[in-house]
Amino acid sequence: MTTFRTIDDLEPGQRLLVRIDVNAAVEDGTVKDSRRFARHAETIRELLADDHAVALLAHQGRPGRDTFVSLEQHADILADHLDHPVEFVADTYGEDALAAIDDLESGDVLLLENVRMCDEELPEEPPDAKAETDLVRTLAPAFDAYVGDAYSAAHRSHASIVGFPRVMDACAGRVMEREYTAITAVRDREFDGPVTMILGGTKAEDVIPIIERLDDVVDRFCLGGVVGELFLRADGHDVGYDVGETSLFDHQWDDHRDRLERSLNAYRDRLRLPSDLAYEDDDGERAEVVVEGLEKDRPFLDVGSETADRYVDVVEDSAAAFVKGSLGVFEDERFAKGTVAVVSAMADSDCFTVVGGGDTARVVELYDFDDDDFSRVTVAGGAYVRALTGDSLVGVEVLEEGSLK
């Protein structure tokens, strides 16, 4: 059950300001298409069917980074997904933007320039302070209502996320609504059987809080990836060290050793650790070795087959399964086995399944799964982790507090 209004509650034919999140990878200046564009296109398509005029507000990158670019290319990518023109204006709330907004008619879509080019957008401040910014005070009167659809940025107290709902009629778009519904389900424990989390990837600081804070609602945590190796190290195995060129392990061990050891001791009965690991042998082939008695003299790039089978069994016996972070370097087919085995088991299962993590969700298209194979493939990274651990998202809170007149 959602606790905010949605686009179903809008009267048709309105002038809408719609905050989306199409923050994307940028390679050599080229903006890469992603699931985020396709998902927001679904919201926009529904709004157009109801004769609304739509102005889109979004960000890309952060000032000072290579990914901090204009949204001009984003307009073309969105237009392709929508099969409908998306006008772009290289201005966010100045004269050019206001003139373009003024020209908007029912069925039109306009994308405003990268909102992080406005100084007032980024500093994290409470919603009421954000509502006082020139950005919000200038744009709000030009619209009938605000649609918050940027779930993956809803953990940020930025002007375009939290300022507008303070001063305008506001509701959630379809991306916000569906992500919220799928991801908050874990806290409310709506499952009739064991809940499993597959936790891997490279970031211990993402994974440890999930274990610490969800120990009461998750029955089994299956660990892999760099994080799995760090837990093996905490368990006294001779792995989870940097060897050769890697610099993934030792600094994380220094930063998180206490929490790793504490989690292992506190939740040992719920944690499943890899029993074998895979590596690249001298011929460039995948090879495997059992963890017991192992000496780490090479980088490990995946969990082994025995571990994959054990985790598949756990998923098959679950009422709900969530993934955050991959079990190995799935981008290389030789080391995708663990991740793909577990994700396949989720796809084949009737249980409630969420695949998440900014990088990890790419396994879905890389290995020919379909979004519909899962209850949810989330487009959120940081927001997914926060929601999983029960943190509220400020961008959701303002929608819950606001209401349509």
Ligand X SMILES: O=C(OP(=O)(O)O)[C@H](O)COP(=O)(O)O
Q: List residues forming the annotated binding site.
A: 21-23, 36, 59-62, 116, 156, 331, 357-360
Cα(28)–Cα(77) distance, integer angstroms: 17
Nearer to ligand X, 161 or 264 (CB): 161
Nearest C-alpha neighbor of 62 from the set 121, 19, 103: 121
Part of the chain binding ligand ADP (CB under 6 A), chosen from 58-66, 159-167, 324-332, 345-353:
324-332
Instruction: Tell me the per-residue interface mask from 244 to 263 with ligand ADP, x by CB under 6 A, - otherwise.
Output: ----x---------------
163 binds, among ligand X, ligand ADP, none (CB under 5 to 8 A by kind): none
Q: How far is the CB of 210 from ligand X (least distance, A)?
A: 14
Look at the chain and count its residues.
405
Cα(298)–Cα(281) distance, integer angstroms: 9
209 binds ligand ADP (CB under 6 A): no
Return contacts of 119-125, CB within 8 angstroms, 24+ apart.
Answer: 120/159, 121/59, 121/158, 121/159, 121/160, 122/62, 122/63, 122/158, 124/156, 124/157, 124/158, 125/157
Residue 54's φ and ψ, nearest 5 degrees, are -120, 120
Q: 46: burial class by Cβ within 10 Å (0-12, 13-18, 19+)?
A: middle
Half-sphere exposure for 293 (CA within 13 Å, toward CB) = 2
200 binds ligand ADP (CB under 6 A): yes
Residue 64's φ and ψ, nearest 5 degrees, are 95, -15
* Sequence ranges of the binding site for (2R)-3-phosphoglycerate: 36, 116, 156
Nearer to ligand ADP, 332 or 370 (CB): 332
Q: How far is the CB of 332 from ligand ADP (least distance, A)?
A: 8
**Strand (E) or helix (H) holding 340:** helix 337-348
**Strand (E) or helix (H) holding 401:** helix 394-401
Q: Which of residues 121-160 bind ligand X (CB under 6 A)?
A: 152-153, 156
Part of the chain binding ligand X (CB under 6 A), chosen from 190-198, 242-250, 257-265, 377-385:
377-385
Cα(248)–Cα(311) distance, integer angstroms: 24
Cα(177)–Cα(196) distance, integer angstroms: 24
Q: How far is the CB of 59 from ligand X (least distance, A)?
A: 7
Cα(92)–Cα(90) distance, integer angstroms: 7
23 binds ligand X (CB under 6 A): yes
201 binds, among ligand ADP, ligand X, none (CB under 5 to 8 A by kind): ligand ADP
Tokens of 249: 């392990």
Part of the chain binding ligand ADP (CB under 6 A), chosen from 1-9, 165-173, 198-206, 286-294:
198-206
331 binds ligand ADP (CB under 6 A): yes
300 binds ligand ADP (CB under 6 A): yes
201 binds ligand X (CB under 6 A): no
301 binds, among ligand X, ligand ADP, none (CB under 5 to 8 A by kind): ligand ADP
Binding-site size for ligand ADP (CB under 6 A) equals 20
Look at residue 27 and give its three-state secondary structure: strand
Nearest C-alpha neighbor of 54 from the set 119, 111, 4: 111
325 binds, among ligand ADP, ligand X, none (CB under 5 to 8 A by kind): ligand ADP
34 binds ligand ADP (CB under 6 A): no
Q: Which residues bind ligand ADP (CB under 6 A)?
A: 200-203, 225-226, 248, 300-301, 324-326, 328-329, 331, 357-360, 381
Residues that bind ligand X (CB under 6 A): 21, 23, 62, 152-153, 156, 358, 380-382
